[in-house]
Amino acid sequence: HILEVRDIRYQGGKDHAFRLRMGDFPCVTTPYPMGAKRGQDVALFFAGSDIDSLQRVDVRVPADPHLDSINVVVKRAGGTVSGFATLSIGNAEEVTETEPNDSANQANRIDLGAGLNGRMNQPNDVDHFVFTAKKGQKFTFREVTRSQNSPCDLMLQLLNTKGGQVATTNDSDVNEGSITY
């Protein structure tokens, strides 16, 4: 066998670095949930290719205030090497969605400031969250997907209590979206 590695345009250069890893490790891309609060225990599941045999991994998140992420090691039963996924860590509470929440009347109740962790489990999946905000209060919702190796491209919509759209992200933008309102 021969493995060829090259730049797609054959340009190369000192800034065109790469790292190649080979072995029997699982190809995990993203932990679920993708974020955890400092100093807490979290049970992680994973997304990626060929991960059906993986069990959950229990992690004690470091309380270190200087860390904003950690790599979580994942091995197959009997595997000799491991894959890893990056878990974001912070000071806020983390909420994992509860299905069903595909409609506004099934929305998960959250507090502003919490990290939200969800999954698009099937085509056309929509997740709804409801929260209380006061007039004059400013808040930001920021997507975190591709920066953590998730293939998900979110579209956020902020709706009022009557279901009318107040704000939305540009679903054709190449960057992760955000809404500040």
Which pLDDT score is estimated for 49?
A: 82
What three-state secondary structure class fits 32?
A: strand
Q: Which of the residue ranges 23-27, 41-45, 63-67, 110-114 would you say has the lowest mean pLDDT?
A: 23-27
109-129: pLDDT as tens digits: 999 999 999 999 899 999 999
Which pLDDT score is estimated for 19?
A: 87
- Spatial neighbors of 98 by CB under 8 A, at least 6 apart, are 108
- Spatial neighbors of 41 by CB under 8 A, at least 6 apart, are 58, 59, 60, 61
pLDDT level of residue 146 (50, 70, 90 thresholds)? confident
What stretches of 66-130 adopt beta strand conformation (E)? 69-74, 83-90, 94-96, 108-109, 115-117, 129-130
Distances (CA, A) of 131 to 59, 107, 111: 29, 9, 6
